[in-house]
Amino acid sequence: MSTVVERLAELSQIGRGENGIDRPLASRGDRLARELFAKWARSHKYALTQDRVGNVFARRSGARDDARPILVGSHLDTVPTGGAYDGAYGVVAAICALDELEANETRTEHPIEAVAWAGEEGARFPLGCLGSSVFTGACDLEKTLSLADADGTTLRDALASRETGLLDRVPIREETRLSAYLEIHIEQGPVLEREGVPLGIVTSIAGQRRYRVAVQGTSGHAGTVPMARRGDALCAASEIILDLERAAIAIGETVATVGMFVVEPNAANVIPGRARFSVDIRSPDDAKIDAVESALRESAGRANARRRVSASIERLEARAPAPMDSKLRAAIARAITAMGERAIDLPSGAGHDAMCLCRIAPTAMIFVPSIGGKSHVAEEETAPEDLERGVAALTASIVEVDKFVI
Ligand code: GLV
Ligand code: MN
Ligand code: MN
């Protein structure tokens, strides 16, 4: 087994349960995954640093050690019952790329740093791309540390804990300047497999917004309150959700998802008094996200007028579509062609830390195929030869990018 495959297999044991992998930010599993990353880095004497939000960096020196580093990485956290490759592959591939540079005694001008971003999925705290948002200055550190999970635990407390928090004996890093960012990721969709091409170069990442919707109705006895007098929060929420689906279909080139739903008091003989749910809207075109958001707000307004409820919508996060850097994309294409491999250009519907990094530095992404296009599920898989080819493409791309970035 090659190193990338072995390392991914080792990492996939952390947080593994019956239905998939659970490795939310600042959990025991997340801490163990960061420790494993640190172990791999130490085995090659890469200099380790971490920042206050839990991002971890492993640095291989460059010829010009005062030059800003090229960062290469992805994330170690997973969605609930997630797979072994989303994020994890990009982190493992980054460390393997450093090792390849080391093995081939390749001198780069810039320091190259493998990075494991904290909490990309936003599965525990209500913010996606959490670590890269703080690193790039898009989110304030103190405000982010004050975010609380569903149980009321703040990120600050979770990161202060010995079990789940920052790594021991790893210095805190203040420096955030970089010369470029590269990320390799599984495609999470069917295009590369369908086209029979082993590598993809990402053109842009779809824009994305997340919301929290709360519908306050009136609880009551399921047997005695007449239908005409009810303020059923679940019925109102259902109507809003179906309106959202219809809007996304009608507007086109957008996707809208309600992935989290809580109904209270959640009893068979009590009229639901409160419903809360998440909304995730994405599109390559921000105007289309605006249109779906408007439809969501109109639907909530109608529910309030007609259904004796009070529905409120809180926007948690908004990321504009993120074009990837054309010079970096061309450099990746050159590197892949020189390897004698084929790649196609394709957009990303999934979100990535690269969306944040591209606001402060030239950024590009490489995709490898996902078997059956599956992702965010336990069955997520990429063939070993595709994983290995991806590491080779990433390593060659680093060398190419190192030649011209400032
Ligand atoms: C992360 O995988 C996302 O696209 O939400
Ligand atoms: Mn990911
Ligand atoms: Mn993901």
d(CA 379, CA 20): 8
Q: Which of 298, 318, 338 is the last residue of a domain?
A: 318
Coil, strand or helix at 245: helix
Tens digit of each residue's pLDDT (9 = 90 or more) over 185-239: 999 999 999 999 999 999 999 999 999 999 999 999 999 999 999 999 999 999 9
For ligand 3, an ion, list residues with CB under 5 A: 86
Domain shared by 391 and 251, yes or no? no
- DSSP notation for 72-121: EEEE----TTB-SSTTHHHHHHHHHHHHHHHHTT---SS-EEEEEES-SS
pLDDT digits (tens, 9 = 90+) for 139-193: 999 999 999 999 999 999 999 999 999 999 999 999 999 999 999 999 999 999 9
| Ligand 1 atom nearest to 87, measured from its CA | 2
CA dihedral 389, 394, 395, 396 (to 10 degrees): 90
- If we measure between CA atoms, which residue out of 139, 180, 164, 195 comes closest to residue 15? 164
Q: Do residue 43 and residue 96 come from a single domain? A: yes
Judge if 242 and 387 occupy the same domain. no
The whole-model pTM stands at 0.96
What's the CATH code of the domain at 213? 3.30.70.360
The Cα-based distances of 87 to 76, 136, 159, 187, 309 in angstroms read 6, 19, 20, 11, 40
Alpha helices in 252-383 (DSSP H): 286-306, 326-338, 354-357
Atom of ligand 1 nearest to the CA of 280: 5
Confidence of residue 288 (pLDDT cuts 50, 70, 90): very high
Task: State which residues form the domain around 312.
Answer: 207-318
Task: For residues 398 and 126, give the distance between their C-alpha atoms in angstroms, rounded to a whole number.
Answer: 33
Average pLDDT over residues 68-92: 98
Q: Are residues 152 and 23 in the same domain?
A: yes
Distance of CA 32 to the CA centre of its chain: 19
Total count of domains within the chain: 2
**Contact in structure between 70 and 80 (CB atoms under 8 Å):** no
Q: Are residues 168 and 310 in the same domain?
A: no
End-of-domain residue from the set 296, 318, 340 = 318
Whether residue 238 is found in the same domain as residue 289: yes
Which CATH number do you get for residue 390?
A: 3.40.630.10
The pLDDT of residue 1 is 79
Q: Are residues 49 and 175 in the same domain?
A: yes
Asked if the model's pLDDT at residue 32 lies above 90, the reply is yes
pLDDT above 90 (res 2): no
Ligand 1 binding pocket includes 128 (Cβ within 6 Å)? yes
Task: Compute the distance from residue 397 Cα to the ligand 2 centre, in Å.
Answer: 20
Do 224 and 169 lie in a common domain? no
Q: Which of 268, 290, 318 is the last residue of a domain?
A: 318
Question: Which tens digits make up the pLDDT trace of 335-376?
Answer: 999 999 999 999 999 999 999 999 999 999 999 999 999 999
Q: Is residue 243 located within the same domain as residue 286?
A: yes
Same domain, 279 and 296: yes
The answer to whether residues 284 and 382 belong to one domain is no
Ligand 1 binding pocket includes 350 (Cβ within 6 Å): yes
Q: Are residues 121 and 137 in the same domain?
A: yes
Ligand that lies nearest to the alpha carbon of residue 128, given by its number in the listed order: 1
Query: What is d(CA 55, CA 75) in angstroms, rounded to the nearest whole number?
Result: 9
Q: Which of 317, 352, 353, 370 should be mutated for ligand 1, with most atoms under 8 A from CB?
A: 352
Question: Between the CA of residue 351 and those of 85, 128, 256, 282, 365, what are the distances in Å?
Answer: 15, 9, 14, 9, 12
